[in-house]
C-alpha cells in the first residue's frame, strides 16, 4: 500500500464490484482496524474532524445512496 496512489487506494476500498481494483479483503481489514484506530484516541479523533467533509460525503454515498435508499425506496 505504501506505493499506491490515492486513486488505487480508493479503487481498492470503494465498494464497486465492477472496478477490477476493488478488494473485499482490503475493505474487511479496514473494518476490523477501527478498534486499533480508536486506541489512538485524540490522534484518531482529530483526523476524523480534519477530514470530516470527505468522510461524510463518502459514508453518505456508500451507506445511504448505495444501500439504504434502494432497500427502503426501491431506487
What is the domain partition of the chain in residue ranges?
1-32, 40-75
Q: How many CB atoms lie within 10 A of CB 40?
A: 11
Q: 34 and 44 in contact (C-beta within 8 Å)? A: no
Q: Which residues, 6 or more positions from 38, have their beta carbon under 8 angstroms from its beta carbon?
A: 44
- The model's pLDDT over 3-62, given as tens digits with 9 standing for 90+, comes to 999 999 988 888 788 999 999 898 888 888 988 988 999 999 999 999 999 999 988 888
pTM above 0.75, yes or no: no
Cα dist from 58 to 14, 54, 55, whole Å: 9, 6, 5
Residue 62 C-alpha cell reads as: 456508500
Give the E-state strand segments of 1-75 in sequence order. none
Amino acid at each position: 500500500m505504501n506505493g499506491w496512489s490515492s486513486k488505487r487506494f480508493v479503487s481498492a476500498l470503494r465498494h464497486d464490484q465492477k472496478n477490477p481494483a476493488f478488494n473485499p479483503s482490503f475493505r474487511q481489514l479496514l473494518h476490523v482496524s477501527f478498534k486499533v484506530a480508536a486506541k489512538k484516541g485524540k490522534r484518531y479523533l482529530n483526523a476524523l474532524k480534519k477530514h470530516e467533509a470527505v468522510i461524510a460525503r463518502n459514508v453518505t454515498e456508500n451507506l445511504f445512496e448505495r444501500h439504504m435508499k434502494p432497500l427502503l425506496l426501491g431506487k
